[in-house]
Amino acid sequence: MDLLALGLVLGMSTALLAVGLVLVHMSSRVINFAQGEIGAFAVAMMITMTARAHWPYWPALAVTLLATAVLGAVIERTIIQRLFDAPRLIALLATVGIAQIVLLLRLLLPKPERGGASVLFQGATTFPLPFHSGQFTFGRVVFGPQHILVLIGGPILAFATAAFLTRSTYGLAVRAAAENAPRARLMGIPVRRVSTLAWVVAALLAGGAFMLLAPINGYSSADAIGLPLLLRGLAAATLAGFGSVGLAFGWGLGIGLLDSLIFYYTKQANLSDAVVLGVVLVALLIRREARRRTTAGEESSWRLAEPVRALPSEITAHPRWRALVFGVSGLGAAAVLAAPLMLSPARTYLLATIFGTSIVVLALTILTGWSGQVSLGHWGIAGVAGIFGSRLVGHWGMSFWLAFLVVAVLGGLTALLIGLPALRLPGTLLAVVTLGFAVVSESWLYDKSWFKGDGSLVRPEWVGNRTYYYLAAGVLLACVLSARALQRGRLGRNLVAIRDNPAQAAAFGIAVVRTRLTGFVLSGVLAAIGGFVWAGCVVTVSPNSFPATRSLTILAAAIIGGLGSIFGALLGTAYLAISLFVPEDAARYVGLTSTGLGLLILICFFPGGLARLAMLGRNALATWVTGVAATPRVTPVEATEAMSALTGDELVEAVLTAQAAPTAAGSHP
Amino acid sequence: MLDPRLRAVAIVNAVVLVAGGLSLGQVRYENRHKGDDSSSLNTLPGDTDGSQQPGASPSTGPSGQPLPGATTGPNGKPLPGSSGAPGTITGPGGATPPPVTVTTDIPDFGLRTQGVTKDSVLIGADYDKGSCPQAQTLAGQFSAQATGDIAKSFSTYVKYINDTGGIRGRTLKLVTVDDGGTYCPEKNGSAAIELVDQYKVLMDIAGLHEVSDLLAKKHLPFLGGRSLISEQRKQGYGQFQPFQDAESDYANWASFGRNYLHSNTRKPCLIHPDTPDFNNLEKYLVRALSDQGYKFKMIVKYKDDPSTATQQATQSAIAMKPNCDQVWLIANNAIADVFFTDAAKTQNWYPTWTWTARTYLIDTQTGGALMQPDEWKNSVGLTTRIKAGASPYEGNCANIYKKYNGDDGMSTSASAQIACATILLSSAAMRRAVDVTGELTGNSLMLGVNAIRGDFFWDATVPVTFSVPGLKGPFDFTGFDLQTVAKWNGNRLDYDFPEYPTYWKIMGPGKSGGVNITHALQKKYTPPQK
């Protein structure tokens, strides 16, 4: 019982994090990667007020909560509102950037000093408490005032949030907007203002939760809130369907409790990651959930606002345009072929690694761009291929080429294993499960003696630098051609149909789950191929080579490039790789563009991604070269198809948008 | 006549073609200017082609290692400086005594010789310059604010070396490359290629073992790298570092536990991060304890992620409290240590905390000062530190830095300390290599390294010794033997050195390197005869 009580106290962090994630998801339909950072900001602010400015507890708490609420409002008004109509994936990526901004703010806050130096981290006992009495021993555990504070304050925060959502007018508005934003707007609910309010409440919740737990957990101002903690909150929110604060709180406590017990009895931290993921997978497998309107709307929101369209046939058949395309393509091919002869060995090597990365980004494009599913762990599948490939070659003496084929199959099987529970159900489950897979792979799987190799993926002796470069380029080309064939084939069309309107696709006889799963498996095969090509290039492979965080970078490349476009996948990878090729003096600053912060700025101004920008440039060039208007014309047949792809809610949204269009900006409720 | 638009397209194509060609030509010119040549084009990390040096002795293994048990070099001749004779004490600021050139045969360790001309010596250094594309982190972007300007620091100490004679008349030159940090294998690999094949440096100051592993495959000498002798031996000659090897450190620590902390009669437990590196190190510590006849009652592996490690601190304290009265700490940062000691306090538990040089930050005054005095009062460990104020060279690094940069507030920064230690050490080794052998090559550098082990170099905090791969090979080095006992004094927020007089008597100026104080600590447990 004593351990259960302690588990409940420590699990409160997961529970309250999950509640905050659900709240933001309700209002903005986005997974908020900044939730933990906002909470950590509140802790930093509180420490500044009490340990640096020496304010008493309660005034410091009031100012801290006020600052945290303002922070939530500012984030929502300046960034989330700007992306209100953007695809949710863009908003998700934006929260990664927001997390970094908040982290920077946290670092900039004045720190308490000890011995003339700033104290960047503190143990639990240095955090202020409103009272200091009430210590008691229960079994093996000494419960102090900080534990009592959590046991009282945690449920109060959760119940207050639930009461806000169920009892208050604004809470009802949040729920209404979450259930169906267009209809809520028709009912006169100021959806955007409600979104701001939800972010403020979520920020206060995060701040309150982190301040409650800081006297137990201690505090570090220099470290970001890591993915493992976020994963636990996301798991709880997912199991609650992102729809119920109470359920999220309960699942959060349960996961926290399980986490505590596993660590207590095994003394191995990383094992608990694997068990938590296993529990989520099993829970999803045995769960039966009816499709709700909310999740249907949410699914459709993952797709891009505007796809990259092909040019009209009048242009593509035009001799001048064909000459230009032929010339540029030839130049590009010549550049790829000549690069190893002209570039330094280091840059040739880097290019080869980028080819491998591009294949993984391409795999994600197939999954997310065409199938409408989100993976936050594709680099994890690539890692399975790289690490296990090194075992096949180094430990078992398998041929490099045979290992290439084996890991491709393994990538597909891995995707099947992950996707089977998650793809049966609607919503963002796959995102959470894949993130969990990436975290568990890095912390647990890659280091298992039965899985890992001897730390390097050794190529055949005759495959030197230049040879491998050409091989990697060839594999990338083959993958691109395969993806194009897939896109134009039946499976590709079915995937897009399901992405656009699952219900209608099912009505046409498409097996939704099976098609999605097939898409994910194919994506997993490609990711594994990319991971193996990449590992064969860098040669030295370890768990550090495949960190879970890089999956977010891969997703960023796909989004920045322009989801759904093969060319966009290559473009996005190239964008993130720019910093590898600029002079080192400038690399630090150019590298900023590939961080979440840089990406945030980019997507705020170009939410359509680089492929969209490239498309506009291409259209202008095509018009200039051929004299034919390049704006893709929508034929009546296409318009009918487009209309039929819309859900009822989206039709309402379209009507509202059309009504609002002639009026001045700002007329939105 | 061509259509004007078609002509425009043709012109655009031509311009693009010419511009592209010129750009590539420029890149090629720059590469050649940097010393690139076609022979290095086929070299990637792990490639074997081109990395084996001509003249490698057939009596050595692929990596140039001698046979186990050998006491001479691969060529069968005694090694200069291998007798264990004390190395010379470097003067303030690392200036060495007047050169005494003793030309001797140089064993062939299979190491590269490059980067040395009659006028200059080119060495490299790799560190994270922040160019690795990572969406979820700002690593490297703001490192200067946190740790100081490493480029400026390196440049400062290179100037100092050149102002004090260079490398026996040669100008020391340093090229730095971006290794991208731990989670950027692409940049790890390109850094190794740039250093070895492009810039052709004599040696590298390695920031990551991910890079030094690749350098070892290319037979380039480097400072830094792996900490386990078993791992070093796999890589062959070429590695040296200012830290002791892990096996010897743990052997000392285990012996210290038995003979000083009496852990064999107590309940010792271990806490370390649950990562491949630390899980591997754990095996060696457990083995060392076994050699001493005792073992840990409990081993707790916490997640190396601050946001979850904090929770695990409380759980660990509760789990360990009834089972352990000594807690052994291994961590690569002080954060977890602070959390664990603090969590123990919340559970009214005050065990004896112990550590060794592997737990870097708590081995320093700064690290110790982060601990709460009441919970850290029972701490006692093994350290390589020297009592503050005892060394004649204390403050060298900071003084040198200030001499060249004024007081910009970064003279004691981590960057300045790292640059000072690595540049002064490397330079001292190169100078001694010339003194001992009359020339400077990859192979002779290792003799220079061997000759200066045990010397003092910077800021009085760490006497330097070197790990070299041939534990039973040409070097007679058998582990790090220069440690003393340190206890935290919570009243004055610094360490006490209860064993210090003995230590200093042996380790003081003019006495370094030659005497081993660990005979008392390294005693192995011998079970009583029945």
Query: Which of A149, A342, A439 has the highest number of chain B CBs within 10 A, making it the mutation to test binding with B?
Result: A342
Residues in CB range of B284: below 8 A, 6 or more apart: B228, B246, B247, B250
Question: Would you tell me which residues 378-437 of chain A have a C-beta closer than 8 angstroms to some C-beta of chain B?
Answer: none
Give the whole-angstrom CA distance, residue A493 versus residue A499. 10
Q: Are residues B217 and B255 in the same domain?
A: no
In this structure, what is the dihedral angle of CA atoms B497, B502, B504, B507, given to the nearest 10 degrees? -130
Angle at A430 between CA A428 and CA A434, to 5 degrees: 130
Q: Are residues A318 and A412 in the same domain?
A: yes
Q: Are residues B368 and B398 in the same domain?
A: no
Q: Specify the pLDDT at position B104.
A: 58
- Cβ count within 10 A of residue A193: 16
Q: Chain A residues with CB inside 8 Å of B269's CB?
A: none
pLDDT tens for A494-508 read 888 887 777 788 888
Hey, what are A299's tokens?
């699914």
Q: Report DSSP letters for A168-203, one per residue.
A: SHHHHHHHHHHH-HHHHHHTT--HHHHHHHHHHHHH
Cα A293 from chain centre: 23
Is residue A280 assigned to a domain?
A: no
Chain A closest CA to B190's CA: distance in Å? 5
Counting Cβ atoms within 10 Å, is residue A288 exposed (0-12), middle (13-18) or buried (19+)? exposed
- Percentage of residues in chain A with pLDDT exceeding 90? 17
Q: Are residues A458 and A358 in the same domain?
A: yes
Hey, what are A476's tokens?
């990338």
Out of A225, A542, A626, closest to residue B307 by CB: A225
Out of A122, A538, A591, closest to residue B185 by CB: A538
User: Does the distance separating the beta carbons of B188 and A538 come in below 8 Å?
Assistant: yes
Q: Can you say whether the dihedral through the CA atoms of B20, B24, B25, B29 is positive or negative?
A: positive
Out of A268, A467, A538, closest to residue B45 by CB: A538
Q: Are residues B365 and B488 in the same domain?
A: yes
Residue with the bigger pLDDT between A648 and A62: it is: A62
**Are the CB atoms for B516 and B84 separated by under 8 Å?**
no
Q: Specify the pLDDT at position B416.
A: 85
State which amino acid sits at residue A211.
M
Out of B34, B44, B310, closest to residue A468 by CB: B44
Please choose, from the candidates B302, B129, B511, the residue with its C-alpha nearest in 3D space to the C-alpha of residue A217: B302
SS3 track for A61-87: HHHHHHHHHHHHHHHHHHHHCCCCCCC
Chain A closest CA to B306's CA: distance in Å? 7
Q: What is the mean pLDDT of each run of 10 residues along chain B (530 residues)?
A: 55 53 48 39 34 32 31 38 33 42 68 92 89 55 56 93 93 92 86 94 92 91 84 79 76 83 92 86 91 91 74 82 91 77 86 83 68 80 71 76 87 82 89 90 87 60 46 40 71 73 56 39 54
Residue labelled with tokens 């250094």: B125
Is residue A489 assigned to a domain?
A: yes
Q: Specify the pLDDT at position B247.
A: 80
Query: Which of A111, A343, A349 has the highest number of chain B CBs within 10 A, making it the mutation to test binding with B?
Result: A349
Q: Chain B residues with CB inside 8 Å of A114's CB?
A: 369-370
Q: DSSP state, B456?
A: B
CA-based R_g, chain A, Å: 26
Q: Specify the pLDDT at position A636.
A: 52
Hey, what are B70's tokens?
């050998």
Q: Specify the pLDDT at position A603.
A: 73
Q: DSSP state, A118?
A: E
User: Does the distance separating the beta carbons of B130 and A591 come in below 8 Å?
Assistant: yes
SS3 track for A376-416: CCHHHHHHHHHHHHHHHHHHCCCCHHHHHHHHHHHHHHHHH
Q: Are residues A423 and A535 in the same domain?
A: yes
Chain A closest CA to B225's CA: distance in Å? 15
User: Does the distance separating the beta carbons of A267 and B301 come in below 8 Å?
Assistant: yes
**Are the CB atoms for A357 and A538 separated by under 8 Å?**
no
Is residue A363 assigned to a domain?
A: yes
Q: Are residues A226 and A365 in the same domain?
A: no
Is residue B519 assigned to a domain?
A: no
Q: Are residues A351 and A244 in the same domain?
A: no
Chain B closest CA to A321's CA: distance in Å? 8
Residue A644 touches partner B, C-beta closer than 8 Å: no
Give the whole-angstrom CA distance, residue B90 versus residue B72. 27
Hey, what are B482's tokens?
């220069």
Q: Are residues A432 and A573 in the same domain?
A: yes
State which amino acid sits at residue B327.
V
Question: What is the domain extent for residue A143?
Answer: 2-112+122-127+138-267
Hey, what are A525's tokens?
């095969």
Question: What is the domain extent for residue B304?
Answer: 246-383+482-507
Chain A closest CA to B141's CA: distance in Å? 6
pLDDT tens for A44-103 read 898 888 888 888 888 999 999 999 999 999 998 888 888 777 777 777 778 878 887 888
Hey, what are A304's tokens?
């891009």
Q: Are residues B204 and B273 in the same domain?
A: no
Give the whole-angstrom CA distance, residue B208 versus residue B192. 11
Question: By CA distance, what is B184's nearest residue in A?
Answer: A545
Is residue B459 assigned to a domain?
A: no
Give the whole-angstrom CA distance, residue B144 versus residue B151. 9
Q: How far is CA B199 from CA A335, B41, B185, B216, B525, in A?
A: 25, 13, 20, 16, 51
User: Does the distance separating the beta carbons of A140 and B339 come in below 8 Å?
Assistant: no
Q: Phi and psi (nearest 5°) for B489? A: -105, 105
SS3 track for B411-441: CCCHHHHHHHHHHHHHHHHHHHHHHHHCCCC
Q: How far is CA A354 from CA A284, A455, A570, in A?
A: 36, 21, 9
Q: Are residues A391 and A529 in the same domain?
A: yes
CATH code of residue B410: 3.40.50.2300
Is residue A660 assigned to a domain?
A: no
Q: Produce one character per residue of B9-47: b if its CB has 16 or more CB atoms within 10 Å, e if not.
A: beeebeeebeebeeebeebeeebeeeebeeebbbbbbbb
Q: Phi and psi (nearest 5°) for B73? A: -70, 175
Most confident of A120-129, A401-410, B132-141: A401-410
Cα B505 from chain centre: 27
In this structure, what is the dihedral angle of CA atoms A97, A577, A388, B195, given to the nearest 10 degrees? -120
Q: Are residues A323 and A239 in the same domain?
A: no
Q: ipTM of the predicted structure?
A: 0.76
Is residue B314 assigned to a domain?
A: yes
- Cβ count within 10 A of residue B78: 14
Cα A13 from chain centre: 21
Q: Are residues B376 and B252 in the same domain?
A: yes
Chain A closest CA to B160's CA: distance in Å? 23
Is residue B81 assigned to a domain?
A: no
Chain A closest CA to B199's CA: distance in Å? 11
CA-based R_g, chain B, Å: 25
Out of B133, B321, B372, closest to residue A577 by CB: B133
User: Does the distance separating the beta carbons of A591 and B133 come in below 8 Å?
Assistant: yes
Question: By CA distance, what is A256's nearest residue in B?
Answer: B311
Indicate whether A179 pLDDT > 50: yes
User: Does the distance separating the beta carbons of B46 and A539 come in below 8 Å?
Assistant: yes
Give the whole-angstrom CA distance, residue B523 versus residue A428. 60
- Cβ count within 10 A of residue A455: 16
Question: By CA distance, what is A352's nearest residue in B?
Answer: B186
Give the whole-angstrom CA distance, residue B295 versus residue B302. 20
Is residue A579 assigned to a domain?
A: yes
Q: Phi and psi (nearest 5°) for B120? A: -145, 160
Give the whole-angstrom CA distance, residue A50 versus residue A61. 9
Is residue B72 assigned to a domain?
A: no
User: Does the distance separating the beta carbons of B312 and A263 come in below 8 Å?
Assistant: yes
- Cβ count within 10 A of residue B427: 29
User: Does the distance separating the beta carbons of A579 and B298 come in below 8 Å?
Assistant: no
Residue A591 touches partner B, C-beta closer than 8 Å: yes
**Are the CB atoms for A622 and A321 separated by under 8 Å?**
yes
Counting Cβ atoms within 10 Å, is residue B402 exposed (0-12), middle (13-18) or buried (19+)? middle
Q: Are residues B99 and B237 in the same domain?
A: yes
Q: Chain A residues with CB inside 8 Å of B189's CB?
A: 349, 353, 537-540
Q: Specify the pLDDT at position A301.
A: 44
User: Does the distance separating the beta carbons of A345 and B138 come in below 8 Å?
Assistant: no
- Percentage of residues in chain A with pLDDT exceeding 70? 84
Question: What pTM did the predictor assign?
Answer: 0.77
Hey, what are A602's tokens?
């980019």
User: How many domains is chain A partitioned into structurally?
Assistant: 2
Give the whole-angstrom CA distance, residue A556 versus residue A427. 20
Give the whole-angstrom CA distance, residue B200 versus residue B115. 5
Hey, what are A323's tokens?
């000459």
Q: Are residues B142 and B210 in the same domain?
A: yes
Q: Are residues B131 and B273 in the same domain?
A: no
Q: Are residues A256 and A396 in the same domain?
A: no
Q: DSSP state, B512?
A: T
Is residue A304 assigned to a domain?
A: no
Residue A111 touches partner B, C-beta closer than 8 Å: no
Is residue A101 assigned to a domain?
A: yes
Is residue A306 assigned to a domain?
A: no
Q: Are residues B192 and B270 in the same domain?
A: no
Q: Are residues A253 and A324 in the same domain?
A: no
Total CB pairs under 8 A between chain A and B: 321
Question: Would you tell me which residues 540-559 of chain A have a C-beta closer than 8 angstroms to some C-beta of chain B?
Answer: 540-545, 547, 549-550, 552-553, 555-556
Q: Chain B residues with CB inside 8 Å of A225's CB?
A: 307
Hey, what are A478's tokens?
């083959």
Is residue B190 assigned to a domain?
A: yes
Hey, what are B366's tokens?
């700064």
Give the whole-angstrom CA distance, residue A178 versus residue A176. 5
Q: Phi and psi (nearest 5°) for B326? A: -130, 135
User: How many domains is chain B partitioned into structurally?
Assistant: 2
Mean pLDDT, chain A, whole residue set? 81
Q: Are residues B160 and B305 in the same domain?
A: no
Please choose, from the candidates B62, B58, B61, B84, the residue with its C-alpha nearest in 3D space to the C-alpha of residue B71: B84
Element of type H or E holding B272: strand B268-273
Give the whole-angstrom CA distance, residue A235 versus residue A248. 9
Give the whole-angstrom CA distance, residue A516 versus residue B483. 62
Hey, what are B200's tokens?
């052709």
Counting Cβ atoms within 10 Å, is residue A279 exposed (0-12), middle (13-18) or buried (19+)? middle
**Are the CB atoms for B270 and B300 separated by under 8 Å?**
yes
Chain B closest CA to A338's CA: distance in Å? 9
SS3 track for A472-518: HHHHHHHHHHHHHHHHHCHHHHHHHHHHHCHHHHHHCCCCHHHHHHH
Q: In which band, very low, low, confident or very high, does the pLDDT at A302 lie, cut at 50, 70 and 90?
A: very low
Q: Are residues A82 and A154 in the same domain?
A: yes
Q: Chain A residues with CB inside 8 Å of B283's CB?
A: none
Give the whole-angstrom CA distance, residue A557 versus residue A571. 8
Q: Specify the pLDDT at position A382.
A: 94
Q: Are residues B143 and B225 in the same domain?
A: yes
Q: Are residues B117 and B204 in the same domain?
A: yes
CATH code of residue A510: 1.10.3470
Q: Specify the pLDDT at position B463.
A: 46
Please choose, from the candidates A209, A374, A360, the residue with its C-alpha nearest in 3D space to the C-alpha of residue A303: A374
Q: In which band, very low, low, confident or very high, does the pLDDT at A631 lie, cut at 50, 70 and 90?
A: low
pLDDT tens for A416-435 read 988 887 777 665 678 888 88
User: Does the distance separating the beta carbons of B321 and A320 come in below 8 Å?
Assistant: no
Q: DSSP state, B88?
A: P
User: Does the distance separating the beta carbons of A338 and B130 come in below 8 Å?
Assistant: no
Q: Are residues A252 and A379 in the same domain?
A: no
Q: Chain A residues with CB inside 8 Å of B374's CB?
A: none
User: Does the distance separating the beta carbons of B177 and A320 come in below 8 Å?
Assistant: no
Residues in CB range of B514: below 8 A, 6 or more apart: B84, B85, B86, B454
Question: By CA distance, what is B8's nearest residue in A?
Answer: A625
User: Does the distance separating the beta carbons of B493 and A549 come in below 8 Å?
Assistant: no
User: Does the distance separating the beta carbons of A226 and B36 come in below 8 Å?
Assistant: no
